[in-house]
Amino acid sequence: MTLFPKIFEGFLSESLILRGLKKKIISIKVIDLRKFAQDKHRTVDDRPFGGGPGMVMKVDVVDKAIKSLKSKIKDKKSKIILLTPQGEKFNQKLAQTLSSCSNLILICGHYEGFDERIRQLVNLEISIGDYILTGGEIPAMAVIDAVARLVPGVVGKTQSLKEESFSFENWKLKIGNLLEYPQYTRPENYQGMKVPKILLSGNHQKISQWRKQQAFKKTLQNRPDLLKQNEI
């Protein structure tokens, strides 16, 4: 749900998202909030009570849009999500949780903000980081991308989902989240920069062990906050 639906056109017409849509594994509908405005001028925002800069999104417009969508969705495994810098920090674990939902309604804020009463209409508030954007459209795309690729069939090889940053279930580790291990491809030697010999050995057991070590090393160096303190 957005005031600027054209922002999503390029995002929905490329790569894995397009593949998932074509295969009908996922379905994404961009809802123009202006269609739910109450007046002939399609007013979606107004000046804040008490004064102050900017314009605030109207609660009645958003409420009407939500009710319209909910009337078409009967499944209880649905969530209404508000994209806001004040929300819960989005991460891989939350993406995995949301991927099990049948339907997600994402509300993109814009302008100075939104009427506080809109918070009472949603199930969850999500932030993609501690910074301010012009609107919730980019956060919505981030959530869609992260969640959609976890839906079975969207990504061709599910094994790739298990050995990437923040996902390591096949390693059966219990030390916290890990960043992904280093990856290499041809040429084997590029301007003196060589592929580690272990990856050319053909010994899959040793390669697996090397990858675990490298993932831990990279995480310890770049994101030690992801590791449990008693493992450092």
Q: What is the pLDDT at residue 232? A: 47
CB 8 within 8 A of CB 137: yes
Same domain, 52 and 11: yes
Q: What is the pLDDT at residue 167? A: 62
Domain membership flag for residue 153: no
Same domain, 113 and 199: no
The residue among 122, 148, 174 that closes a domain is: 148
The residue among 119, 148, 177 that closes a domain is: 148
> DSSP states of 139-193 as a string?
HHHHHHHHHHTTSTTSSS-THHHHSBTTB-GGGT--SB--PPPP---S-SEETTE
Its domain, for residue 66, covers: 5-148
Domain membership flag for residue 89: yes
Same domain, 9 and 123: yes
Q: What is the pLDDT at residue 227? A: 86
Q: How many domains does the chain have?
A: 2
Same domain, 18 and 131: yes
- List CB contacts of 232: < 8 A, sequence separation 6 or more: 220, 224
Same domain, 143 and 31: yes
Same domain, 199 and 131: no
Same domain, 59 and 168: no
Q: What is the pLDDT at residue 226? A: 86
147 token code pair: 């969640």
Domain membership flag for residue 154: no
Q: What is the pLDDT at residue 158? A: 64
Same domain, 168 and 53: no
The residue among 148, 180, 206 that closes a domain is: 148
Full pLDDT tens readout for the chain, 232 residues: 999 999 999 999 999 999 999 999 999 999 999 999 988 889 999 999 999 888 999 999 999 999 999 999 877 788 999 999 999 999 999 999 999 999 999 999 887 789 999 999 999 999 999 999 999 999 999 999 999 999 999 997 666 666 666 665 444 455 567 898 999 999 999 999 999 999 999 999 999 999 999 999 999 999 998 886 545 4
Find the CATH number of the domain harbouring 59.
3.40.1280.10
Q: What is the pLDDT at residue 177? A: 78
What pTM, to 2 d.p., does this model score?
0.84
Domain membership flag for residue 67: yes
Same domain, 137 and 217: no
Domain membership flag for residue 178: yes
Find the CATH number of the domain harbouring 164.
1.10.1270.20
Q: What is the pLDDT at residue 168? A: 52
